[in-house]
Structure formats: structure tokens, C-alpha cells
């Protein structure tokens, strides 16, 4: 299928984006930064075409569902969310050097989807539980949230690595701005994750007759939600800033990864359709 070929090529384009941003970090040549940004925009465009083409091919096969229904399609959309949110932040804050710490996540996500033998890339009919419009809202909000948390994780790594002074780090945002970026991306992600959990509960009631079943995926989603709720609570009420927030951001993203991958591989439950084939 053309969509699978195009999306596999997108994997290598994201690798190229990462190397270009890394080259900008190493050599500080403005031309490398411009090329990296334009190549990332181009790659996101091709990525979007690949997703739309998969949707069209699904209709041509008589299946006709949004490409958000299995592990492969969720990984593809996860990578898209990371790249899209990063480009929005780069345009707003004019800090392209951060791409060296965010683009690896888009590349690794696409690489796992495209080349892992455990990920089924075929377009298949939806099981009855997934035949709902709530699926689209639930998955889009959750993965935009995950994308924001991935970007925040990258910023947290930069924050912890960056010393207060040092000529090499002068081109990076100051710690105060990094702290603000971590907080803003997590607030954005937390809001969407909240919407995703609520829409998931509504969908669960229609599919399984219960808003909440303490399924492993639901339980770990709630744990992740509490970690980021703690992050926001500690910042607004306790006045936590900087290093503590960066560490909590990393803990939160570890919980995201376990909710997404760990639960699929290690635990079974109502979300077992998302497990590797």
C-alpha cells in the first residue's frame, strides 16, 4: 500500500531532521537551522499526506475508518503530534535548537511503527467496540496530550543538562524560559489528557456498558493524570520551579510511555486490541 511506503520514508526524513538540528547545535551555522526547519515542515506535510492516503485507501477497501484504530496507526499519529507541536513552539519562541532534543522522539516513534515486526500495519475492519465517533475525539486528544508531554520531556532534558553559564549553551534558551516552556506544554497536554479521559469514559459506557472498569490502560492513564495534576498543583500552590518541575516532567513522561507501551506488552484488558500482533 502506498500509505505504508510513504510513512516508512517519513521515518528517514525525521532522522534527517534530527541530524540537521544536531548539526546546527554542533556547528552553529544559521543555514543549517533554516534547512532543518524547512525539511521538518516538508516532512510533516508528507506525513500528513501519508495519513490521509491511508484513510482514503481504507474507504477504497470498503472498510472506511479513520486511521487511529490500532498500534501502528496510533504510533503514526503520535509521531505526527510530536512534530506538529514542536513546529508550533519553534515558530512562537524562535528556538530551533531545541529540535535536536525533540525530533528524535518523532523519528523513533515512526521507526518503531514502520520497522518493528511486532507492529501490524495492515488496514483491518474495526471491532464493534471501536465503531464509534467517540474513538476519533478520544484518540486525537490523548495523542496530542502525549505529543505535548514528549516535547516537554525533551525540554526537561535540556533544562537539566544546561548549566547556568557556558559558551556552548549560550545559544540555548535560558533556564527561566525552559522552565516556562515545560510548564506551558504540560498544561496544554494535561488539559487534552483530561478531555481524552472523559471522552474515553463516555465511549466506554457505550461500548462496554460502564464508564470506568479499572482496565490496566484506564488505571495507568489515571496514574499519569495524577502525576501531571501534581506537577500543576506543586507549581501553582507550592511554588515549585525549575529543577523539581523538570524532574517531575520526566517522571510523568515515563508514566506516559508505560501507559502506552508497557500496558500493551505486559498487561491485558479491554484495550487489548491495541497490542502488537
Q: Which pLDDT value is given to residue 128? A: 75
- If one counts the domains in the chain, the total is 2
Where the chain has pLDDT below 70, the residues are 268-277
Q: Is the same domain home to 139 and 88?
A: no
Cα distance between residue 64 and residue 43, in whole Å: 25
Name the domain boundary from 126, 156, 177: 126
Q: Is the same domain home to 188 and 267?
A: yes
Q: Which pLDDT value is given to residue 19? A: 96
Q: Which pLDDT value is given to residue 274? A: 52
Q: Is the same domain home to 138 and 195?
A: yes
Q: Is the same domain home to 222 and 104?
A: no
Q: Which pLDDT value is given to residue 5? A: 92
Q: Which pLDDT value is given to residue 99? A: 92
Q: Is the same domain home to 86 and 175?
A: no
Residue 13 is part of which domain span? 1-126
Amino acid at each position: 500500500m502506498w500509505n505504508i511506503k510513504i510513512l516508512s520514508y517519513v521515518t528517514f526524513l525525521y532522522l534527517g531532521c534530527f541530524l540537521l538540528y544536531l548539526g546546527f547545535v554542533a556547528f552553529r551555522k544559521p543555514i543549517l537551522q533554516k534547512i532543518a526547519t524547512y525539511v521538518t515542515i516538508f516532512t510533516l506535510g508528507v506525513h500528513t499526506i501519508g495519513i490521509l492516503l491511508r484513510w482514503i485507501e481504507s474507504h477504497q477497501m470498503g472498510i472506511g475508518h479513520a486511521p487511529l484504530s490500532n498500534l501502528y496507526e496510533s504510533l503514526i499519529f503520535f509521531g505526527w503530534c510530536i512534530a506538529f507541536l514542536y513546529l508550533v513552539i519553534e515558530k512562537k519562541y524562535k528556538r530551533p535548537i531545541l529540535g535536536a532534543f525533540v525530533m528524535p522522539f518523532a523519528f523513533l516513534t515512526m521507526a518503531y511503527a514502520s520497522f518493528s515486526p511486532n507492529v501490524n500495519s495492515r488496514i483491518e475492519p474495526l471491532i464493534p467496540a471501536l465503531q464509534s465517533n467517540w474513538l476519533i475525539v478520544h484518540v486525537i486528544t490523548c495523542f496530542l496530550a502525549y505529543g505535548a508531554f514528549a516535547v516537554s520531556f525533551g525540554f526537561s532534558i535540556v533544562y537539566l543538562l544546561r548549566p547556568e553559564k557556558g559558551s556552548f549553551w549560550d545559544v540555548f534558551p535560558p533556564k527561566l524560559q525552559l522552565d516556562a516552556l515545560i510548564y506551558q506544554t504540560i498544561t496544554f497536554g494535561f488539559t487534552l489528557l483530561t478531555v481524552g479521559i472523559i471522552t474515553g469514559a463516555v465511549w466506554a459506557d457505550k461500548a462496554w456498558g460502564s464508564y470506568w472498569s479499572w482496565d490496566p490502560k484506564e488505571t495507568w492513564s489515571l496514574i499519569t493524570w495524577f502525576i501531571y495534576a501534581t506537577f500543576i498543583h506543586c507549581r501553582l500552590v507550592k511554588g515549585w520551579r525549575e529543577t523539581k518541575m523538570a524532574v517531575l516532567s520526566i517522571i510523568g513522561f515515563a508514566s506516559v510511555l508505560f501507559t502506552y507501551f508497557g500496558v500493551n506488552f505486559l498487561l491485558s484488558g479491554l484495550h487489548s486490541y491495541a497490542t502488537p500482533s
